[in-house]
Amino acid sequence: MSRSALGGLLVAALLISLLLGVGFGSVPVPTGDVLSVLSGGGTDVQRDIVMNLRLPRVLLGMLVGGSLALAGATFQALLRNPLAEPYILGISGGASLGAVSVIALGLVSASSWALPLAAFAGALLAIWLVFRVATATGRAMDVRVLLLAGVVIAAFFSACIAFILSISPARTVQTAVQWSMGSLAGASWGSVLVAAVYTLPAAGVLIALSRPLNLMSIGEETAYYLGADVEGVKRTTLLIAALITAAGVAVAGIIGFVGLVVPHAVRLLIGSDHRALLPLSFLGGAVFLTLADLAARVVMDPIEVPIGVVTAFVGVPIFLVLLRRSVGPT
């Protein structure tokens, strides 16, 4: 498939998923009424449903899904590993520790921003610790050390979380588990703004670095001899990808498989040129998470399934099929 054809399909799918996500729910809103509300018409009830409940949720899903897929494609390029994903540096562990700490202290009821801020702070702590360990020798950043540091720090955070939950009441444990499975239910225009402020500029920077990433995916030594600033590209792209992952985790919890499956699927369709792979992965991630959130809302209505469960149910078989296609018959 050509890049322009895939891009056109993803843009069309994004618009369709927007209309579906806003229109479907416990109270259906016909597409004509959705368009009327978006153009300033509609009844008061329809405007409240569309503008205050569903549209922020759909837009947040697009931003978070796009950022996770973009971060996944970036990590896969830098680490030269198609199985790399956005949480590989222990970001999910740090965010979970921050969230569980706030839940255990009973601070969630004090402010609606307490949980996302704590999750973001925990993710930033994980990023700082991993980068600190990886650059402790003062020499060039070794991605193998970076990966090992991420694994060790994630294990430490997991132990801390297990300890906190072991001494917490059952209600705290239930709330922490629900958060860890991911959800867009708490979406608001404020959370959309926060996600947009982090995601859109970062996406622009990463896409602008697509040529150096093409060289890095061949090998660091080759990229150096071809004129790429290897250390600068590594530090910049890793930090930006980690930050947008942290922002996504802060507003939506931990949502798996988006950053693993989507870039892999796009790569199989159009190749590994990051000038096309990065923007198309962003669009693909936005579509994937928007539709997954729609399924989470309507499949067992009125019960809402955690979105992380939906992405796992959908992502695992898709990834196995893609993996089989990429490996070929044995």
Cα separation of 89 and 131, whole Å? 9
Domains of the chain listed by start with CATH number? 3-327 (1.10.3470.10)
Residue 204 has pLDDT above 90, yes or no: yes
In the numeric block, which tokens belong to residue 6? Answer: 């895939």
| pLDDT for 111 | 72
Residue 295 has pLDDT above 60, yes or no: yes
DSSP string, 47-89: HIIIIIIIHHHHHHHHHHHHHHHHHHHHHHHHHT-TT--GGGG
Residue of 13, 27, 79 lying closest to 284 (CA atoms): 13
Summarised one tens digit per residue, pLDDT across range 122-158 is 888 888 888 888 777 666 667 778 888 888 888 999 9
Residue 311 has pLDDT above 80, yes or no: yes
In the numeric block, which tokens belong to residue 317? Answer: 């078989």
pTM: 0.88
| pLDDT for 231 | 77
Residue 283 has pLDDT above 90, yes or no: yes
When pLDDT is cut at 50, 70 and 90, the band that residue 330 belongs to is: very low
Cα separation of 238 and 4, whole Å? 28
Average pLDDT score, the chain: 86
Sort residue 166 into left (φ over 0), alpha (ψ -120 to 50) or beta.
alpha
Is-contact 99 118, C-beta < 8 A? Answer: yes
Summarised one tens digit per residue, pLDDT across range 24-54 is 888 888 888 888 888 888 888 889 999 999 9
When pLDDT is cut at 50, 70 and 90, the band that residue 8 belongs to is: very high
